[in-house]
Amino acid sequence: MRYRMIITATIVAFAASVSQAAAQGTVSAKGRTTSVKVPANQSAAEPVDFANAKGMPVPQGFAAADELLSLLAGPPATGASGAAEGKLGTGVTSQGMLPTPSANANAGANAGFASADEFESDEFGTSNHPFSTARADLSTIPTNNRYPYSPAGKLFFNISGSSYVCSASLIKRGVVVTAAHCVANYGRRQFYSGWRFVPGYRNGSAPFQSWTAAQVWVMSSYYNGTDGCYQYGVICPNDVAVILLNPSGSTLPGTAAGWFGYGWNNYGFSGSLTHVTQIGYPVCLDNGLFMERNDSHGFINSTYSNNTIIGSLMCGGSSGGPWVANFGMRPILTGTSNGSAPQSNTVIGVTSWGYTSTAVKQQGASPFTSGNIVPLVNAACSANAAACS
């Protein structure tokens, strides 16, 4: 069964209104990537409205809920798979607070934690794709400032004077991965501005402080609009971006928060299948104030730009959030051995698109490959080696 999906009117409206002359800094292309160097005074000249930032709508396009055909087709041809390790943070940091969210935004969250029976295991929509979505918190115990949750956070930014929010995560001490549509306007040769990354964000608090962007990279094909997306700007091969963060003195957020590893060329997949833990801040769940966790199996759909598709309850604001293989703290083995691709907490994609219908409950992600995530991270590390040490 097919569900017609189109880019929302909201996306079209604000995408068309972005000014090329916005203080986006110096744009440069090198190899297959394009970046913008953020002006040093941008954070002061263009403040973000943390309290009233809108959830970035998840791009929407054509997609078929046809898992069986994808599985029969097998995985796409790629180079050898690979992965880079993440690291546990110290957890020691000064506490920070962001501006208090508006009363309306806090109304639902301040009612307390949901009871266990409000979240059902193996929920699914009309796609019949099972998943489990719940707050990352454990009953009354917050987990946002504990690894492996702490590398994930909220990404605030501006589009033509209005503030928006996506999700993102650290994959190096000072390098963040998110979706390209959270940093650039597809095919318009335009970057957004004013990015602030808040790892471990929870209900207005910033346990690892807030960090500004020094430089942002996307693939040139996404920036130029030649990415070969299944639908223009949606369900793309390269809806992936990395952000190099400015240090605070000599400190970078990954020192305390830790960072995820990242994998490419189907790392963690068996054929066309894998298991994914998705982290994000969708505004349709808890008003986007709390970190949400979703667990589902994912499958590659070769027809749709080799994107991976999972079952999920998430929505706008979750864009750019990490899709993590082997999420959690690795156990000590006794009398057994690891399976294949055992590296823990490895990001293999970020939330890229979803359905216009809230009944389908699936989302997709561009594949991490040796042709996108590897050159993007390499570019960031070349710009500042200390951010990758």
Per-residue model confidence as pLDDT tens digits over 305-331: 999 999 999 999 999 999 999 999 999
Tell me the two tokens of residue 313.
């309850």
Mean pLDDT of the chain: 85
The per-residue pLDDT for range 74-130, each reduced to its tens digit, is: 566 677 877 787 877 877 666 566 654 443 333 333 333 233 332 233 478 889 999
CB atoms within 10 A of CB 146: 18
Report the alpha-carbon distance of residue 318 to residue 284 in Å, rounded: 10
**Maximal CA-CA distance, the chain:** 62
> Taking 50 as the threshold, does the pLDDT of residue 138 lie above it?
yes
Q: Which pLDDT belongs to residue 117?
A: 31
For residue 163, give the H/E element and its range.
strand 162-172
SS3 13: helix
Residue with tokens 């970020």: 350
**Lowest-pLDDT range of 49-63, 128-142, 198-212:** 49-63
**Best CA proximity match to 207, nearest among 216, 192, 197:** 197
Q: What is the DSSP string of 70-127?
A: HHHH-PPP-S--EEE--B--------EEPPPPPHHHHHTGGG-PPPGGGS-TTB--TT
Give the number of C-alpha atoms closer than 13 A to the C-alpha of residue 102, restricted to the C-beta side.
10
230 compared with 44, residue with greater pLDDT = 230
pLDDT at residue 235 is higher than 50: yes
Q: Pick from 164, 154, 171: which is nearest to 185 by CA? A: 164
Q: What is the DSSP string of 176-191?
A: EEE-GGGTEETTTTEE
- Residue 298's beta-bridge partner residues? 274, 310
pLDDT band at 57 (very low <50, low <70, confident <90, very high): confident
CA–CA distance, 387 with 389 (Å, rounded to integer): 6
Higher pLDDT, 232 or 85: 232
CA distances to 14, 270, 299, 360, 362 from 274, rounded to whole Å, are 35, 6, 7, 20, 15
Task: Read off the pLDDT of residues 160-176 as tens digits, 9 standing for 90 and up.
Answer: 999 999 999 999 999 99
Is the pLDDT at 18 greater than 80, yes or no?
A: no
Q: What is the pLDDT of residues 327-352, one digit of tens each?
A: 999 999 999 999 999 999 999 999 99
pLDDT of the residue at 81:
78
> CA gyration radius for the chain?
19
Query: To the nearest whole percent, how much of the chain has pLDDT over 70?
Result: 81
Mean pLDDT of 2-12: 35
Rounded Cα distance between 366 and 145, Å, is 28
SS3 136: coil
* Distance from C-alpha of 291 to C-alpha of 282, rounded to nearest angstrom: 8
Distance CA 238, CA 70 (A): 20
**CB within 8 Å of 298: residues ≥ 6 apart:** 273, 274, 275, 276, 308, 309, 310, 323, 349, 365
